[in-house]
Amino acid sequence: MAPMVSSRDPGDIARYLSDESRMTGGHAEEVYWPESATELADVLRQCSEKRRPVTVSGAGTGVVGGRVPIGGVVLALERLASIGEPRAESDAARITVQAGAPLETVQRAAAAAGWLYPPDPTETSAAIGGTIATNASGARSFRYGPTRAWVESLSGFLADGTPFELHRGQTVEKAGRLAMPLANGRVLDIPAPDWSMPSTRKHAAGYFSARGMDLIDLLIGSEGTLAVIVEAELRLLPAPEELLTGVLMFTEEWRALEFVVAARGEDSGRSGSRAFVVEPISLELFDGASLDLLRRRGAGVCSSARAAIFFEQPVYGGEDRDAWLAAYAELADRFGALDASWLAGSREEARCIRELRHELPVAINETLARRGVAKLSTDTAVPSGTVNELLAAYREVLDRAEIEHVAFGHVGDDHLHLNLLARDPDHWCEARRVYDRLIGLAVEHGREGSAEQGRGKHKPDARKKR
């Protein structure tokens, strides 16, 4: 049997010392590339016996430094990337995938068989194991929820290499305890987390907690601190025939936010006899600074637009596409959307509009890279109806400090990312102090300081004041 692939070469290790947080200071003694579950378990056992720290590495798309090692060894899962065939179950399906499989590859495999894997974080090159470890969400979580809702089983290893396999519904909380069955016949008795979760739609700052919770839900979102996930069984939905996709542009931000309220069905002041009923799976905000950044990249955004909303509406067999279009047109007119708004007329145009949504974080990251500074991005969720208050409070602080900033994100979930664009490394230190004030301001007012990105090593105090 060939020995496991590993390296102590600094050049090989260097690839695993950073992620999209651009956090510095990462270092490791060795990197391992297991090609089987057996090899992975061997690494964990050896490291446990020698008390060597282990950092699990996915695709490096995280923005909070979770995969940045601080000594020890790196366990890179990219060679554990197999994907099974979807298995139909009446009105749903399941697919078994290994942790190193890229999200986009899983989504394509599902789509090729007529199914949809709903979780849709911005960076589709993320590894499935990483999306499970962080309970990744993204644009479509407005309708479908985060990754946690789509995981049916998990298998992997504890820190000492002990194997486990869990199925949803197998182990639930009873009297504050969770009983975890292990492959060696032992049962691990675990105290269930017991604290109040925030009242926001999204939250990712700490272990999941709920009465009667499933043990699987504790591992999902635990950021690799409890176990190494090797394989998962994911649930799929029937794929829609089409996704109506568009970007509605507005001259004022408040109009865009009012459109969101109505699109979510929360508008109690509807006029006329006809209700404006739409059922989007995505509602995303671009603020004025976001649009300026896209204009500088030649995106062709209308010059008078100061805010925009990206939306997606699934159309299933038997539904009237034109009726959905008419409903969005009426709603857009009601809130003064510009005629220069974009609506995809084909799959190719829909793909281009989706790429525009993904282009914005790329543009931000490239801007920061040119300036030689690390990313500072809030990940704050707020109770429904208070996004305006959050933006006003943040912008007051940032304008006073004269820090360039860009706000965009999952407004349908009352969850936005506000990116601080420091001018240079010296200015970054001031921006970091302001960033800490913003997070403190959010937590003090009952908002969630880390709604989807987790804590990692970059945001260790995301829940400190709760």
For residue 326, the tally of other CB atoms under 10 A from its CB is 11
pLDDT (tens digit per residue) in 52-88: 999 999 999 887 788 899 999 999 999 999 999 999 9
Instruction: Tell me what pLDDT residue 274 has.
Output: 45
Q: Say if residues 410 and 142 touch (Cβ distance below 8 Å).
A: yes
User: Confidence class of residue 427 from pLDDT cuts 50, 70 and 90?
Assistant: very high
What average pLDDT does the segment 388-408 reach? 92
Q: Say if residues 442 and 451 touch (Cβ distance below 8 Å).
A: no
Instruction: Tell me what pLDDT residue 61 has.
Output: 86
Same fold, 5-76 and 242-367: no
Say which residues have a Cβ less than 8 Å from residue 269's Cβ, sequence separation at least 6.
none
Q: What is the CATH number of domain 5-76?
A: 3.30.43.10
Instruction: Tell me what pLDDT residue 446 has.
Output: 59
Domain boundaries, the chain: 5-76, 87-238, 242-367, 372-444
Percent over 70 (pLDDT), the chain: 91
The CATH fold assigned to 372-444 is Alpha-Beta Plaits (3.30.70)
Q: Which CATH architecture has domain 87-238?
A: 2-Layer Sandwich (3.30)
Instruction: Tell me what pLDDT residue 184 has.
Output: 87
Instruction: Tell me what pLDDT residue 324 has.
Output: 93
Instruction: Tell me what pLDDT residue 201 has.
Output: 64
Q: Is 368's pLDDT higher than 70?
A: yes
pLDDT (tens digit per residue) in 122-163: 888 999 999 999 999 888 989 999 999 999 999 999 999 999
Q: What is the CATH number of domain 242-367?
A: 3.30.70.2190
**Claim: this prediction has a pTM higher than 0.95:** no
Q: Is 465's pLDDT higher than 60?
A: no
Q: Is 116's pLDDT higher than 60?
A: yes
Instruction: Tell me what pLDDT residue 452 has.
Output: 59
Q: How much is the mean pLDDT over the chain?
A: 89
Q: Is 466's pLDDT higher than 70?
A: no
Name, of 304-308, 361-365, 376-380, the range with top average pLDDT.
304-308
Instruction: Tell me what pLDDT residue 90 has.
Output: 84
pLDDT (tens digit per residue) in 178-215: 999 998 899 999 999 998 776 666 676 789 999 999 99
362-377: b (≥16 Cβ within 10 Å) or e: ebbbebbeeeebbbbb
Instruction: Tell me what pLDDT residue 8 has.
Output: 97
Q: Is 228's pLDDT higher than 70?
A: yes
Contacts 24+ apart (CB under 8 A), 100-108: 100/58, 100/127, 100/128, 100/129, 101/127, 101/128, 102/59, 102/126, 102/127, 102/128, 103/127, 103/128, 103/131, 105/81, 106/234
pLDDT (tens digit per residue) in 317-328: 889 989 999 999
